Amino acid sequence: MTNITTRQYSLERKKQRYAYTFLIIPMLFYIGIRFYPTFYAFYLSFTDWNIVSKNMHFIGLENYRRLISDEVFWQTLKNTFTYVIWGLPISLLLGFTLAYHIDRVKVGESIYKAMYFVPYITSMVAVAWVWRWLYQPVPIGVFNNLLTAMGLPTQPFLMSKTQALPSILATTIWADLGFQMIIFLAGIKAISPTLFEAARIDGANERQVLFSITLPLLKPTMIFLLITGTIRYLRIFTQVMNMTFQGEGGPLNSTKPLVLYIYTSAFKSFKMGYASAMTVVLFVIILIITLIQMVVTRDEN
């Protein structure tokens, strides 16, 4: 009897041993590629390292002190939140509206789905460059040529301090829409059809079905989209990098998000320490937002 249990036990252990052996590789990878650099960035943020120098001086909180008085930093932080606060609700609302209506389409549902999803799987760099050309002034910009044809005044779009950020945001939402739509659609399809049938038999109208059944049951979907979306919009980069001249985030820093400022500080000005300090700030912001969202979801469940 004892013999059998030990053998079972050792077989179990053997299996585990293999599992761990195989898991070592991704573990090493993650420690080397993700965790170590992340923690190293915390350390770098207290130094004045410039990437090529062999000397790395510990300067304490100097980088953080400079951040507080850096107008560009505050401007980019404000821009980042503008992207999130406007971009996320609009893309969620549009995504849901699309999903809601596509769900009811009888013919050609997959064509509509594909049409709205294609921008999401298109390379953001390509999307950004096409839109950059669309926004150009006359004679090459399509939007401005249309405005002129209709006898309306042309708009500066990317060259204006006030219009540049909304212009880039519009492109982002357009590209992002497909993802929100497809997840919402999956959520709607997952709701048991018997619920809708029962509601209709009870005489509920469209609005009642929407607000009492569809939306409440989509809550987990919405929370998922909210969390992933917030992180995605907080890390906005590619669009601005490609839609403004050589990624300057202009005019006058009006479109520059924090991530782009981090990138230029680190890899153009080579201020690694300073860039790391900004990364730490962004890390803390994302952490706080995620924690808040996690607490909120726990209550909901």
Partner 1 sequence: MKKSIALVLVALVLLTSLSAAGQADKAAKSEVTEIVYWQYYYETKKNLVDDLIKIFEERNPDIKVIHQTFPYENYNTKVASSVPSGQGPNVINLFYGWLPLYIDSGYLQPLPQDTFPNDRIEDEFFGLVDAAKFDGKYYALPTAVRSLALFWNKDLFKEAGLDPDTPPKTVDEMVEFAKKIAKLDRGGNYLQAGMTLELRGQMHQYLREVLIRQFGGSPYNEDTTKVTYNSKAGYDALQWLTDLERVQKVGIPQYMTDDVTAFSAGKMGITIDGSFRLGTFNALSDLNYGVAELPEMNGVKSNFASFWANGITSTTTGKKLEASVKFLEFLTSDEVMAMWLPAIGELPAKKALALQEEFKNHPMYGPFIRGLDYAHATKFIDEDAQRIVWINAYDEVVLNGKSVKAAVDEAAAIEQKVLDEYYSKR
| The one among 10, 110, 192, 269 contacting partner 1 by CB under 8 A | 269
| The one among 11, 23, 31, 51 contacting partner 1 by CB under 8 A | 51
| The one among 2, 3, 5, 21 contacting partner 1 by CB under 8 A | 21
Closer CB to partner 1, 113 or 256, in the complex: 256
Question: Least CB distance from residue 232 to partner 1, whole Å?
Answer: 24
Work out the widest C-alpha separation in the chain, in whole angstroms: 93
Instruction: Please give the full DSSP string across 105-160, using - where no structure is assigned.
Output: --SSHHHHHHHHHHHHHS-HHHHHHHHHHHTPPTTT-HHHHHHHHTTPPP--GGGS
Question: Least CB distance from residue 161 to partner 1, whole Å?
Answer: 5
Our finding on whether 276 is near partner 1 (CB under 8 A) is: no
Enumerate residues 145-164 that contact partner 1 by CB under 8 A.
148, 153-154, 159-161
Question: Least CB distance from residue 65 to partner 1, whole Å?
Answer: 14
Our finding on whether 62 is near partner 1 (CB under 8 A) is: no
How far apart (Å, rounded) are the C-alpha atoms in residues 5 and 53?
Answer: 61
- Alpha helices of 2-70 — where are they, by DSSP H? 2-30, 36-44, 62-68
Enumerate residues 165-224 that contact partner 1 by CB under 8 A.
none
> Taking contact as CB under 8 A, which single stretch among the options 38-46, 75-83, 103-111, 137-145 is the one that binds partner 1?
137-145
How far apart (Å, rounded) are the C-alpha atoms in residues 77 and 12?
Answer: 52
Our finding on whether 252 is near partner 1 (CB under 8 A) is: yes
Q: Which two tokens stand for residue 139?
A: 């004679």
Our finding on whether 6 is near partner 1 (CB under 8 A) is: no
How far apart (Å, rounded) are the C-alpha atoms in residues 39 and 286?
Answer: 16
How far apart (Å, rounded) are the C-alpha atoms in residues 38 and 40?
Answer: 5
Enumerate residues 65-94 that contact partner 1 by CB under 8 A.
none
Q: Are 127 and 175 in contact (CB under 8 A)?
A: yes
Q: 7 exposed, middle or buried (CB, 10 Å; 0-12, 13-18, 19+)? A: exposed
Question: Least CB distance from residue 2 to partner 1, whole Å?
Answer: 22
| The one among 6, 11, 20, 220 contacting partner 1 by CB under 8 A | 20
| The one among 39, 245, 294, 295 contacting partner 1 by CB under 8 A | 245
Rg (CA), the chain: 25
> Binding residues for partner 1, per CB under 8 A?
13, 17-18, 20-21, 24, 50-54, 132-133, 136-140, 144, 148, 153-154, 159-161, 245-246, 248, 250-253, 264, 267-270
